Amino acid sequence: MSQVQSPKSETRETETSSANAQGASADPGHWTLDVGQSRADVGRGTLDFRLTVTDLRKSFPTPAGEKIEVLRGVSFSARAGEAISIMGASGAGKSTLLHLICGLEAADHGSIIAGEFAINRATSSALAHFRNKQVGFVFQFHHLLPDLTAAENVSLPLLITRTRHGLAMQRAARMLAEVGLDSRMSASVVGHLSGGEQQRVAVCRALITSPVLVLADEPSGNLDTAIGDEIAHSLISYARHNAALVIIATHNRALAAICDRTLVLRHGKLCDV
């Protein structure tokens, strides 16, 4: 992976590689993703990016008119360069937490500060701008547009920020090649690709804008082990080499073990393992 040319990326890499030295290597020559864009492209304030989540609470109404308290006071902080896993039983609130962090859902209480941006106080248009510029989200079921080609799907976030069409498609094709999808597959409509290929496309789409915050919701949950491992390694490698914060919700203990830290959601709160 070519590294983003940030003056601090070298320092960060040293810090995170020492954290990772206790576990398995997270960068054993798996796919490497050349995001091909300096972090400076996405504005000031991202080089020292921190995420601070304080006393987050969220409940949902049940059909019976009651309330399920999913998050009951979640607090943690993290910084660029870290890869963090979030574990917890099914229904523990992992997806809910990721959705709150990027403002896809609103919290009932608490605060989320991403860099200098207060997510819980932002307008919907500021949130849309923040997500497009600074966040990459990998969904469990990829949420690609099935009738568009792989390259068109990957280029979409760039087109939204008015990157020239030809350049966006060129960068998309290059990223797809780096995850092993050749030009024939990048020109195929996504609906014709296998589950593993589709998830690789989803990872490329999430990373093409060089986001400082990457949220992945059980990205390998539906894939066979080998391809799931590749997806996970590519995300962790992205955090290490691009001074980004990557948070992965997962059931996979082996994947959690190669992250810098694991947070476990239990009874609506986070605890360190």
Ligand X SMILES: Nc1ncnc2c1ncn2[C@@H]1O[C@H](COP(=O)(O)OP(=O)(O)O)[C@@H](O)[C@H]1O
Residue 123 binds which entry of Mg ion, ligand X, none, CB below 5-8 Å type-dependent:
none
Nearer to ligand X, 139 or 160 (CB): 139
Cβ 163 vs Cβ 16: under 8 Å = no
> Min. distance of Cβ 89 from Mg ion in angstroms?
10
- Give me the amino acid identity at 49: F
Q: Which does 91 bind (CB under 5 to 8 A by kind): Mg ion, ligand X, none?
A: ligand X
Q: Which residues contact 63 (CB under 8 A, 6 or more apart)?
A: none
Q: How far is the CB of 217 from ligand X (least distance, A)?
A: 7
**28 interacts with, out of ligand X, Mg ion, none, CB within 5 to 8 A per kind:** none
Which partner from the list Mg ion, ligand X, none does 88 bind, CB cut-off 5 to 8 Å by kind? ligand X
Edge-to-edge order in the sheet of strand 269-272: 135-138, 213-217, 245-249, 83-87, 261-266, 269-272
Binding residues vs ligand X (CB under 6 A): 60, 68, 70, 88, 90-96
Looking at the Cβ atoms of 93 and 157, the one nearer to ligand X is 93
Nearest to 148 by CA among 193, 178, 191: 191
Choose between 190 and 265: whose C-beta lies nearer to ligand X: 265
Q: Cβ 142 to ligand X, closest distance in Å?
A: 16
SS3 261: strand
Please answer whether residues 244 and 80 qualify as being in contact, where contact means their C-beta atoms are separated by less than 8 angstroms.
yes
DSSP 221: T
DSSP code string of 36-66: -S-GGGG-TT-TT-EEEEEEEEEEEE-TTS-
CB of 248 to ligand X, least distance (A): 12
Among ligand X, Mg ion, none, the one that 93 touches (CB under a kind-dependent 5 to 8 A) is: ligand X
Nearest distance from C-beta of residue 251 to ligand X, angstroms: 9
Nearer to ligand X by C-beta: 26 or 70? Answer: 70
Between 94 and 200, whose beta carbon lies closer to Mg ion?
Answer: 94
Residue closest to Mg ion (Cβ): 95
**Exposed / middle / buried, residue 10 (Cβ in 10 Å: 0-12, 13-18, 19+):** exposed
* Strand order across the 50-61 sheet: 67-79, 50-61, 109-114, 117-118
C-beta of residue 189 within 8 angstroms of C-beta of residue 149: yes
| Residue 90 binding result from ligand X, Mg ion, none, given CB thresholds of 5 to 8 Å by partner type | ligand X
Closest CA to 213 of 104, 109, 92: 104
The verdict on 85 binding Mg ion (CB under 5 A) reads no
Closer CB to Mg ion, 58 or 94, in the complex: 94
For the beta carbon of residue 112, count every other beta carbon within 10 angstroms.
Answer: 22
CB 184 to ligand X: min, Å: 35
Q: Between 93 and 112, how does the x/- string for binding to Mg ion read (CB under 5 A)?
A: -xx-----------------
Q: For residues 90 and 123, which CB has a smaller minimum distance to ligand X in the complex?
A: 90
Contact residues for Mg ion, defined by CB under 5 A: 94-95
